[in-house]
């Protein structure tokens, strides 16, 4: 800044005048910076809203254009060996899985504990390997009450379809979603093992090994104290999945990612 002295004023008066000018200039600069910062914040908020809007529109488009597969109404995943595994979400879907979608060459998984889903490995006449059997056992355990109870490991078992019956023992009542298992059971030590991945723009939930093999991206989900809705939002955002599908893929109970 070039200083000009007014000869009609003392040096002190001139200094005071320039000092006041400097203060005003600084205040203007501060206000200008505040305006810039406020503008940046507003732009960031608008960009976030735009991103949320675009994601919402994408999800709506996916719902309209993508045809849902028949098995997506159940718990489901594709094993690392390529076998479709389907399980009940509740008593009603347990009933449907066994009565309508169990074929003679399939394997049926369950646990001894009440409240467990029935999982069916659709074999299509092929023989599942150890990986598929372990993954189906882990899925059955993961979506059972073991998740809510905080258990890390337990057992599942599998049988063949001819061992599964709706006919109860004499004098007993078979509730909806329940089935009588007769004959030898093959027990499989298993564990809580869950990941959610993006499979053809929809959420696939199952053991980490299977999800990793079949999905373009995945997130491991663990037992925890977080709300399922919060977990679903994080997963859906990161994997670019519909929130509703993601939330439906989670076990009943709290979780963490």
Q: Is the pLDDT of residue 1 over 60?
A: no
Is residue 140 in some structural domain?
yes
Domain that holds residue 167: 70-256
For range 193-215, the mean pLDDT: 97
Is residue 36 in some structural domain?
no
Each residue of 36-56: pLDDT tens digit? Answer: 778 788 878 878 888 777 777
More confident of the two residues 33 and 163? 163
* φ/ψ (deg, to 5) at 63: -65, -35
Is residue 121 in some structural domain?
yes
When divided into structural domains, the chain yields a total of: 1
User: How much is the pTM?
Assistant: 0.74
Is residue 204 in some structural domain?
yes
For residue 36, the model assigns a pLDDT of 73
Is residue 21 in some structural domain?
no
Contact 91, 177 (CB under 8 A): yes
Q: Give percent above pLDDT 90 in the chain.
A: 67
For residue 63, the model assigns a pLDDT of 56
Among 189, 98, 195, 181, residue whose Cα is nearest residue 151: 189
Is residue 11 in some structural domain?
no
Q: Is the pLDDT of residue 232 over 90?
A: yes
User: How far apart, in whole angstroms, are the C-alpha atoms of residue 1 and residue 221?
Assistant: 62
The total of other beta-carbon atoms located within 10 Å of residue 221's CB is: 27
pLDDT band of residue 233 (cuts 50, 70, 90) is very high
Each residue of 107-119: pLDDT tens digit? Answer: 999 999 888 999 9
For residue 185, the model assigns a pLDDT of 97
pLDDT band of residue 20 (cuts 50, 70, 90) is confident
DSSP E strands, the chain? 75-78, 84-87, 107-110, 119-122, 153-159, 164-165, 180-181, 186-191, 194-199, 202-206, 218-226, 255-256
For residue 198, the model assigns a pLDDT of 97
In the chain, the N- to C-terminal Cα span, in Å, equals 58
For range 86-99, the mean pLDDT: 96
Q: Is the pLDDT of residue 69 over 80?
A: yes
Each residue of 72-82: pLDDT tens digit? Answer: 999 999 999 99
More confident of the two residues 15 and 235? 235
Contact 248, 231 (CB under 8 A): no
Here the tokens at position 124 are 């299509």
Is residue 55 in some structural domain?
no
The total of other beta-carbon atoms located within 10 Å of residue 18's CB is: 14
pLDDT band of residue 219 (cuts 50, 70, 90) is very high
Q: Is the pLDDT of residue 61 over 70?
A: no
For range 167-194, the mean pLDDT: 87
pLDDT band of residue 7 (cuts 50, 70, 90) is low
Give the CA count within 13 Å in the CB-facing half-sphere of 128: 26
Average pLDDT of the chain is: 89
Each residue of 129-180: pLDDT tens digit? Answer: 999 999 999 999 999 999 999 999 999 999 999 999 988 777 777 777 889 8
Is residue 81 in some structural domain?
yes
């Amino acid at each position: 800044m070039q200083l000009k002295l007014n000869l009609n004023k003392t040096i002190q008066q001139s200094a005071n005048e320039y000092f006041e000018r400097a203060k005003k200039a600084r205040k203007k600069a501060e206000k200008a910076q505040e305006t810039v910062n406020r503008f940046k914040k507003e732009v960031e908020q608008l960009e976030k809203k735009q991103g949320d809007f675009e994601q919402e529109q994408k999800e709506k488009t996916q719902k309209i254009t993508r045809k849902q597969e028949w098995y997506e109404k159940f718990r489901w995943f594709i094993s690392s060996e390529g076998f479709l595994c389907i399980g009940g979400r509740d008593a009603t879907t347990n009933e449907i899985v066994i009565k309508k979608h169990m074929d003679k060459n399939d394997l049926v998984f369950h646990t001894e504990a009440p409240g467990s889903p029935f999982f069916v490995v659709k074999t299509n006449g092929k023989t599942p390997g150890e990986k598929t059997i372990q993954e189906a056992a882990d899925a059955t355990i993961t979506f059972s009450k073991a998740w809510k109870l905080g258990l890390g490991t337990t057992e599942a078992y599998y049988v063949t379809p001819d061992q599964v019956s709706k006919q109860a023992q004499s004098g007993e009542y078979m509730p909806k979603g329940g089935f009588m298992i007769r004959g030898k059971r093959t027990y499989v030590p298993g564990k809580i093992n869950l990941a959610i991945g993006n499979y053809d723009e929809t959420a696939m939930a199952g053991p980490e090994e299977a999800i990793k093999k079949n999905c373009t991206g995945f997130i491991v989900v663990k037992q925890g104290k977080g709300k399922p809705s919060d977990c679903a939002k994080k997963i859906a955002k990161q994997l670019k999945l519909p929130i509703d599908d993601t939330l439906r893929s989670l076990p009943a109970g709290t979780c963490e990612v």
